[in-house]
Amino acid sequence: MILLVVTVVQRSVGFGRGILFCRWLTPDSLGQWEMAYSFLLLAAPLAVLGVPGTFGRYAEHYRQRGQLRTFLRRATAWTAVCSVLAMAAVALFPRPFSYFIFGDDSGVELVRGMSLCLAAIIFHHTLTSVLTALRLYRIVSAMNMAQSLLFATLSLLLLWQGPEVGRIVTAYGVACIVASLGALAWAWPGLQGIEPPAEPLTQREFWPRLLRFAFFLWVTNLLSHLFGIADRFMILHCSGMEPTEALAQVGNYHSSRIVPLLLVSFADLLSGLIMPHLSHDWEAGRREAVSERMSLAVKLTALGMLVFGACVLIAGPLLFGVVLQGRYDNGLAVLPWTLAGCVWYAVFSISQNYLWCAERARLSTAPLAVGLALNVVLNLALLPIFGLWGAVVATAAATLGCLACSLLLSRLNGMRVDRTVWIAAVAPVVLGFGLWPTLALLVVLCVLAPATTLVFTTTERDALQRMASDAVTRIRQRLPLRRTPINSP
């Protein structure tokens, strides 16, 4: 519940911040911020070669051997060196990075400022990984909450003085540093209490194992981030538009993603919440139960987000016409396909749990690779002809391909992926065709789903009815106030 509340508050703050960014920045400035932010999120994990991601895997391993302090010191030193090298590379060669990020050399000064922000982000991400590995979840939650609130406050205060992207980058870097230093001061007594190593740990024994695992994480991060940002970079470099016009289209795309990205955030939270339950059943030998739960989770996620998507389509004209003051008409035009793509990515995030339970983590990179390849090919075909609309449709189609690949691999490893799962997985395509087809499909599903096996099997319908009945019973038991008779002892 604490995690849920913190996540909801953080996303609400981020949503409000994003709305104000859209109101205060021009489309090309908003596109410039989107490209800068995308680059920072791509570069931060890649610069350190995946080593911070090993904290969660090996902290307990070395703790049990009395070598946790050695592990943390060496991995942190590696991260610090890589961070300095990455920051120096961006600061010393700003012009090539400006062409890569913004399409021309107009962002040279901004890139120099981004080099400092990159170091701050690496520090923040590394400390998050360390504290999470040490199971200091309360500190991690407080740090992330503080970072979100500080970024919103500082960025809006600086933008009030002048709508410049450099001010937002500065605010983001300062928020990361301040929140991280506060969390480090909080956790420092516990970190100091880690016992010195009982036995020396040789470099030859330490680094090969760590770097093999880190390389796998690095590849996963690379594919994941490239899949997430490929469309924006292709709009900038492959659309044939002038850099300013391309950045304006990226800004329109950013405006269409503000609400749909909430679905992805919720799916990431939901994925983390259900994973321990699935893992418990898997380790207990109840593989069939894991398969059934995963199938039901995929269906409920797809259909639940289809309903949310319909609500977003209804509110779209109000959001873009009134709240965003009609400045992002192209964003409203591509909103349906942006929604469809984000819903498919959310379902993909849920579906990955089965491969992780089956200890097929390496296979989880295959759908991302397939999706990235499809994204590049489809963007090359559609972007020059249809512009922003072609890029958004290409990304949505690539995300559907990514989800289909994940379900096929899960099926090959034992998950039940039948006709009903495929129907639920493909159903969000109606979002791309607008509000009325979406409402028509929802009406059909409301009529047919309870009485047929179109979406839910008989076993799943019975399970859902039991869950609903139990929930109603528990609510009824807790609502009435207990009244003690006057004469009772």
352 and 436 within one domain: yes
Would you state the pLDDT for residue 4? Answer: 65
Which of 50-54, 249-253, 475-479 is predicted least confidently? 475-479
Residue 127 lies in a domain: yes
212 and 167 within one domain: no
Residue 222 lies in a domain: no
100 and 42 within one domain: yes
246 and 159 within one domain: no
238 and 166 within one domain: no
Which one has a higher pLDDT value, 228 or 337?
Answer: 337
Would you state the pLDDT for residue 68? Answer: 84
Residue 202 lies in a domain: no
398 and 304 within one domain: yes
Which one has a higher pLDDT value, 276 or 96?
Answer: 96
Residue 485 lies in a domain: no
| CB atoms near residue 326 (< 10 Å) | 11
Structure tokens belonging to residue 298? 């995929």
Report pTM: 0.85
Query: What confidence tens digit (pLDDT) does each residue in 64-75 have?
Result: 888 888 888 899
Residue 173 lies in a domain: yes
Query: What confidence tens digit (pLDDT) does each residue in 84-107 have?
Result: 999 999 999 999 999 999 988 888
Would you state the pLDDT for residue 1? Answer: 64
213 and 172 within one domain: no
Distance CA 202, CA 186 (A): 31
112 and 258 within one domain: no
Residue 89 lies in a domain: yes
Q: What residue numbers bound the domain in which 66 lies?
A: 1-196
Is pLDDT at 489 greater than 60 in this prediction?
A: no
264 and 183 within one domain: no
Which one has a higher pLDDT value, 465 or 250?
Answer: 250
397 and 268 within one domain: yes
Domain total for the chain? Answer: 2
How wide is the angle at C-alpha 257 spanned by C-alphas 442 and 52, nearest 5°? Answer: 115
53 and 96 within one domain: yes
Query: What confidence tens digit (pLDDT) does each residue in 166-203 have?
Result: 999 999 999 999 999 999 999 898 888 777 776 777 78
Query: Which residue type is seen at 210?
Result: L
Residue 310 lies in a domain: yes
Residue 82 lies in a domain: yes
423 and 300 within one domain: yes
